Structure 1
Amino acid sequence: MTRAIFYTATTLNGFLADDQHSLDWLFQVPGGEGGGDDFQRFLAGIGVLVQGSSTYEWVLEHEELLAHPEKWQEFYGERPTWVFSSRDLPAVPGADIRFARGEVVDSWDQIRASAGERDVWIVGGGDLAGQFADAGLLDEIRVSIAPATLPSGAPLLPRRIGSERLELTDVRRAGAFAELTYRVMSPDRSVHVG
């Protein structure tokens, strides 16, 4: 069964990105560039990615993907990517990028179908993951906590999700990071989403 997983890294004080939506802070942490064996196993189970416009635009700029579209394939492969945005954004040449507007629930059936038998990775940002949680579509949160802080920025999950909806299922050390995995219960608090 297809699950929606928010897998991200955050600072110790709960920010995903700085005030300019940059992840440069993450790449300064040893191991922050990702790509280890655990991440590769996770990625092998992913059929589709979902991103918000700020995340997508940062990746476009940081990786210079419009000039070097082959980098997209190196990291994401042939997986479809859904980008939620209220603005028109450029697509990476040769990549299967599908733009969506409006409520996540309105696109969920198409997103799930494009994942096939694999899971959906909600890459970011936190507000988009929160929209999935609000709609009862978020199954799991995996957060790697980095040994870094920021004075301000984009919060991990800018909404209230009570402890009655989150069940800690795993804790592990990954180099300098502490990784926490939570199963997310539906908003009615009685039923597991996935």
Structure 2
Amino acid sequence: MTGRLGKVVSDITITADGYVAGPNQSEARPFGDDGGDGWGDQLHGWMFDNPAEHQAEIDQLGSAGAFIMGRNMFGPVRDEWDRPWNGWWGDNPPFHAPVFVLTHHARNPQPMEGGTTYHFVTDGIESALTQARAAAGDNDVLIQGGAETINQYLTAGLLDELRLHIVPLTLGSGSRLFDGVPPLKLEQVKSRATSSVIHVSYRVLPSS
């Protein structure tokens, strides 16, 4: 007997003006000019500065049965795609589940320590979601980002839930959530304010 069908969820930190990364992203500064060191300390400090205050939200991040991410979130675009490069996340990535990477460059699956295996999907967001659902079983599929990837899933009407962690910071430019996305109908499921971030969850309602 099978359980419930898992949801398709996006979970991402954004600034008060909607950016998930600043301008001038590079291999040395994956979050661009974010007002900090470029490694997301201004955006994602809430996860590390006082993790006990945000444990429920951190636990949600690790509860998915499979993940989907864009090519840039896996790692920077390199001219020599075939040379060894396992992405930003090190030898033991935090996912511990299958990760489906959207890309235009075919590559064999890359198993990592801790149970993570990267699968490189070249035939679009719907194919990636089909594969991720099969891998996740009854568990949720988490669309990791970045903004362009989440915006594609929102535009296609493929997201069930949107979890935002809103930090008290503005960037003014960079990679922005909702850019190019048609108007959405959202139902607030829950919200919680902490000392450094507001956690908000929305159910994405059908547009018609």
SS at match of 1:46: coil
Equivalence for 2:74? 56
Deviation at 1:174, TM superposition (A): 3.1
* Aligned twin of 1:171: 191
TM norm structure 1 = 0.79
Please identify, of 141-150 and 106-115, the stretch whose mean Cα deviation from structure 2 is larger.
Answer: 106-115
Do 1:26 and 1:146's aligned partners in 2 also have CA atoms closer than 8 Å? no
AA partner of residue 146 (structure 2): G
Q: RMSD in angstroms over aligned alpha carbons?
A: 2.5
Q: Tell me the distance in 2 between the aligned counterparts of 1:167 and 1:110.
A: 28
Offset, 1:76: 1.6
Q: Describe the superposition over 1:41-72 as per-residue Cα deviations: whole angstroms up to 9, x where unpaired.
A: 313531011100111116934x4x2xxx03x1
Q: For 2:102 and 2:120, locate their aligned partners in 1 and report how far apart those are by CA, in whole Å.
A: 6
Read off the aligned partner of 1:148 and give its amino acid letter: L
| Count of residue pairs the alignment pairs up | 178
Which has the higher mean CA deviation after the structures are superposed, 167-176 or 84-93?
84-93
Q: Secondary structure at the match of 2:65?
A: strand
Tell me the secondary structure at the aligned position of residue 5 of structure 1: strand
Unmatched 5+ residue regions in structure 1?
190-194
Per mean C-alpha deviation after superposition, the further-off stretch among 83-92 and 167-176 is 83-92
Aligned to 2:98: 80
User: Aligned letter for 2:118?
Assistant: I
Q: CA deviation at 1:114?
A: 0.5
Structure 2, unaligned runs of 5 or more: 32-37, 77-85
Cα pair distance change 1:19/1:115, threshold 3 Å: same
Partner Cα separation in structure 2 for residue 112 and residue 152 of structure 1: 34
> For residues 44 and 93 of structure 1, do their structure 2 counterparts lie closer, same or farther at Cα, with a shift above 3 Å needed?
closer
State how 1:1-194 maps to structure 2 within 5 Å: 1-21=5-25, 22-23=30-31, 24=38, 26-28=40-42, 30-33=45-48, 36-57=54-75, 60-61=87-88, 63=89, 65=90, 69-70=91-92, 72=93, 75-77=94-96, 79-87=97-105, 91=110, 93-94=112-113, 95-163=116-184, 165-187=185-207, 189=208
Higher helix share: 1
Preserved CA contact (<8 Å) 2:187 2:204 = yes
Identity %: 24
Please report how far the alpha carbon of residue 110 of structure 1 lies from its aligned counterpart in structure 2 after TM superposition.
Answer: 1.7
Tell me how far apart the structure 1 counterparts of residues 104 and 63 of structure 2 sit (CA, whole Å): 29
Give the drift of 1:121: 0.8
Write out per-residue CA displacement over residues 67-121 of structure 1, whole angstroms, 9 at most, x where no aligned residue: xx03x1xx222x0000001135794644311111232113322210101111011
Give the 3-state SS of the residue equivalent to 2:200 in structure 1: strand
Contact residue 163 and residue 201 of structure 2 kept, 8 A: yes
Answer 1 or 2: higher relative contact order, Cα 8 Å, separation at least 6: 1
Give CA-to-partner distance per residue, 1:106-156, whole Å, 9 cap, x none.
332221010111101111012211222222210011111111121311001
